[in-house]
Copies of this chain bind each other. A is one copy, B any other.
Amino acid sequence: MSTTKIRIAIDCMGGDIGVPVTVSAAWDFAQRYPDTGFLLAGDEAAIRGQLKTLGCGRDDWYQVLPASEVVLMDDPVEVALRRKKDSSMRVAVQAVKDGLADACVSSGNTGAWMAISRYVLKMLDGIDRPAIATSIPNQKGGATTMLDLGANVDCTAEHLLQFAIMGTALATALNGRDKPTVGLLNIGEEVIKGNEVVKQAAELLRASGLNFYGNVEGDDICKGTVDVIVCDGFVGNVVLKSIEGVAKMISTMMRAEFKRNAFTMLSGLVAMPVLNRLRGKVDNRRYNGAALLGLRGIVIKSHGSADPYAYGHALLRAREAVHNGLLEGTTSAIHNLRQSLQAAAEQSAKISNDISGPGH
């Protein structure tokens, strides 16, 4: 472990499968990225058993952090937070808090992971609430960063502004965007354009110094109109799942069409290489790894159903976030925002002073 530059703590017990996925993905990752080491939190016997099964002969890339409890998928947040104080989740987050790890990853219960991370790490100055962000593949061949995806159901305009700051920092760190464009998710030509919160948020964003594009609509997510899209967690969660649902429907229906008879099966065989290439491009396993933003540490959430390939992508997101300085980027973005807002306030004070004239 002494030679690795980046260290990621893993909740090895999380997800539908647990160690066979998490430990396998970590070992595979360590071989591909020799600069990255892992802190494996969980049941020590299970972890060492899995390492043996994998035939992993080296021990220079990991350290086991024993944890006696496991947060279950249906554990209430209260139970996860107050009763299971030696859970693999808690131990993984604590490693970040203690400076042993640079980031942590779990594929367990989202609510518990969020609550424990927030409790242990605390929020960054200037951010009220954490947000969940992910990348969605778009038509331009890139990815659209979208947040919030379910951490915050009722949001104020200020929260949406904070999401925009965090999303900007994330898109810069993960997708290498310089001054990423930010869109505010809104409704279009219909009767009433947006609710009050969204209207206020647009005003804040215009004054923020961020690269604010303006309102965007649902179809702009996949068009790739902007780099970052902000919305409240209710809308984001429903939209993300709707998108996953339609992609799944199309792929299921396509499979059924190709299986209809001998002729269609044959044409399916011919078309398969092309369709597989397409599937590779929109494969949601490649986009696995949502970021829990606004915390004093890098926290990544993998899908519970992730296989080792998908889990590896969540680990990659953690590594990139560390490597590209996501936390520093977020902190400096908050700082810049404050300066922008202060400058705007001083400017307007000066104007009002000039108008009042020297007599006052």
Given A222-B248, A258-B274, also A110-B189 (CB < 8 A): yes
Q: Which of A35-43, A81-89, A146-154, A172-180 contacts B (4 or more CB under 8 A)?
A: A146-154
Are A218 and B234 interface neighbours, CB within 8 A? no
> Which residues 186-228 in A have Cβ within 8 Å of B in the complex?
186-192, 194-196, 217-223
Partner of A278, one of B149, B185, B195, B257: B257
Are A242 and B270 interface neighbours, CB within 8 A? no
> Which residues 329-345 in A have Cβ within 8 Å of B in the complex?
none
A197, chain B: closest CB distance, angstroms: 9
Contacts of A252 in B (CB 8 A): 139
Tell me, yes or no, whether A138 is within 8 Å of chain B by CB: yes
Tell me, yes or no, whether A357 is within 8 Å of chain B by CB: no
Are B191 and A150 interface neighbours, CB within 8 A? yes
Are A247 and B246 interface neighbours, CB within 8 A? yes
Are A241 and B217 interface neighbours, CB within 8 A? yes
A263 to B121, CA, bound (A): 54
Are A111 and B189 interface neighbours, CB within 8 A? yes
Are A250 and B282 interface neighbours, CB within 8 A? yes
Are A234 and B195 interface neighbours, CB within 8 A? yes
Are B267 and A273 interface neighbours, CB within 8 A? yes
Tell me, yes or no, whether A120 is within 8 Å of chain B by CB: no
- What mask results when residues 262 to 277 of chain A are scored 1 for a CB within 8 Å of chain B, else 0? 0010111011011101
For chain A, the count of residues having a C-beta within 8 Å of the partner chain is: 72
Tell me, yes or no, whether A244 is within 8 Å of chain B by CB: yes
Contacts of A231 in B (CB 8 A): 238
Contacts of A55 in B (CB 8 A): none
Are A238 and B222 interface neighbours, CB within 8 A? no
A252 to B222, CA, bound (A): 11
A51, chain B: closest CB distance, angstroms: 30
Are A138 and B282 interface neighbours, CB within 8 A? no
Given A223-B249, A257-B278, A271-B267, also A218-B240 (CB < 8 A): yes
Given A271-B268, A281-B253, A282-B250, also A217-B192 (CB < 8 A): no
Give 27 pairs: A residue, B residue, CB < 8 Å, sorted on A.
Answer: A110-B190, A139-B248, A139-B252, A150-B188, A151-B190, A151-B192, A187-B233, A195-B234, A217-B237, A218-B237, A218-B241, A218-B245, A219-B241, A219-B242, A219-B248, A221-B242, A238-B239, A239-B239, A242-B243, A243-B243, A243-B246, A254-B278, A264-B274, A266-B270, A267-B274, A270-B270, A270-B271
Q: Top 8 A-B pairs ranked by shortest CB distance?
A: A218-B241, A150-B190, A219-B245, A218-B242, A271-B271, A187-B237, A222-B245, A222-B249
